[in-house]
């Protein structure tokens, strides 16, 4: 499964970022894939470093549409 983010083994992984992603997705792989698209877009548009932060996850979650309102 391709999630859309390129990660290498030498990049540090912040436990807070992993927890934020787990909270947003609730373990749903389809939602995980949908969350990574806005994360990648936010990082690219804002020319941010490749390391994802909790702020980026929060912004991506706000732009994610889940279910009917």
The model carries a pTM of 0.74
Average pLDDT estimate for 12-19: 84
Q: What is the dihedral of CA 46, 31, 5, 54, to 10 degrees?
A: 50
Domain that holds residue 44: 15-63
User: What pLDDT score was predicted for residue 50?
Assistant: 75
Show Cβ contacts of residue 69 under 8 Å, excluding neighbours closer than 6 positions.
none
Q: Would residue 2 count as lying in a domain?
A: no
Residue 64, helix vs strand vs coil: coil
Q: Would residue 30 count as lying in a domain?
A: yes
Residue whose structure tokens are 């969350």: 35
Average pLDDT estimate for 26-46: 89
Q: Would residue 7 count as lying in a domain?
A: no
Q: Would residue 28 count as lying in a domain?
A: yes
Domain count for the chain:
1
Percent of the chain with pLDDT over 70: 77
Q: Would residue 69 count as lying in a domain?
A: no
Residue 3 has pLDDT above 70, yes or no: no
């Amino acid at each position: 499964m391709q999630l859309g983010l390129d990660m290498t083994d030498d990049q540090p992984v912040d436990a807070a970022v992993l927890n934020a992603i787990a909270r947003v997705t609730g373990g749903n792989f389809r939602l995980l894939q949908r969350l990574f698209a806005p994360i990648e877009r936010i990082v690219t548009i804002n020319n941010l470093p490749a390391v994802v932060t909790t702020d980026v996850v929060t912004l991506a979650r706000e732009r994610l549409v889940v279910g009917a309102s």
